[in-house]
Amino acid sequence: MKYYILFGPPGAGKGTQASAMAERYKLRHISTGDLLRKEMAAGTPLGKKAKSLIEAGSLVPDEVVEGMIENAFDTIKDVDGFLLDGFPRTTAQAEALDKICASKGGEVTACVSLMIPDEMIRERIKHRASIEGRADDANDETITNRIRTYHEQTEPLIAFYKKAGKYEEIDGTKTIDEVRAQIFSVMDKH
């Protein structure tokens, strides 16, 4: 079983590339946001816990998200692996993911990172807001906060996965097809 992580700042193109990656390599794309919504809609114990926390205005703790990821690994069949999007976001989550994979007799295959400069993040998020009508993507203060949060909380994962020899950086500034070709070239090696 392969365990890929799709990584990068907001607006880097993760959503654009994920379906092609999943299709080509027979992976199940797991977005943590989608997973949370599915578990809440199904009324599972984890979903109920997440829903009560979200309704109270609290963040969903790591152990709830990790439980949902592990549940997905246990219940989804007929795939060659998983493509995680939105998890891990912190070093603690990366360490937990390593333990989950090890308990399944595997390990993280690679962290595929789509990188773009901050100014391009800003441009792409604003463009997405105009197309999709997402008010949260149109506010400069919100965008600045998302960029800062990415740099402070998530970027340390680069060093974590480089140290593990599993970090693969892709230049996300190219065209969609050029980025996809780079991704496939990297994934073909694993």
24 is a catalytic site residue: no
Paired strand residues for 31: 85
- For the record, the structure tokens of 133 come out as 């009508």
- Whether the CB-CB separation of 3 and 102 falls below 8 Å is answered with no
3-state helix vs strand vs coil in the chain, percent to 5 = 60, 15, 25
Q: One of 28, 38, 122, 128 is an active-site residue; which one?
A: 128
Q: What gap in Å lies between CA 141 and CA 90, rounded to an integer?
A: 23
Active site residue 128: yes
| Contact between 55 and 40 (Cβ < 8 Å) | no
37 labelled catalytic: no
The catalytic position among 2, 14, 166, 180 is 14
| 89 labelled catalytic | yes
In angstroms, how far is CA 149 from the centroid of its own chain?
Answer: 15
Using CA atoms in the order 42, 47, 53, 58, what is the torsion angle rounded to 10 degrees?
-110
Catalytic residue among 2, 124, 146, 166: 146
CA–CA separation, 77 vs 188, rounded Å?
Answer: 22
Catalytic residue among 26, 104, 134, 148: 134
Given a contact cutoff of 8 angstroms between Cβ atoms, the answer to whether 23 and 29 are in contact is: no
Q: Which of 28, 38, 89, 126 is catalytic?
A: 89
**Which residues participate in catalysis according to the annotation?**
14, 89, 128, 134, 146
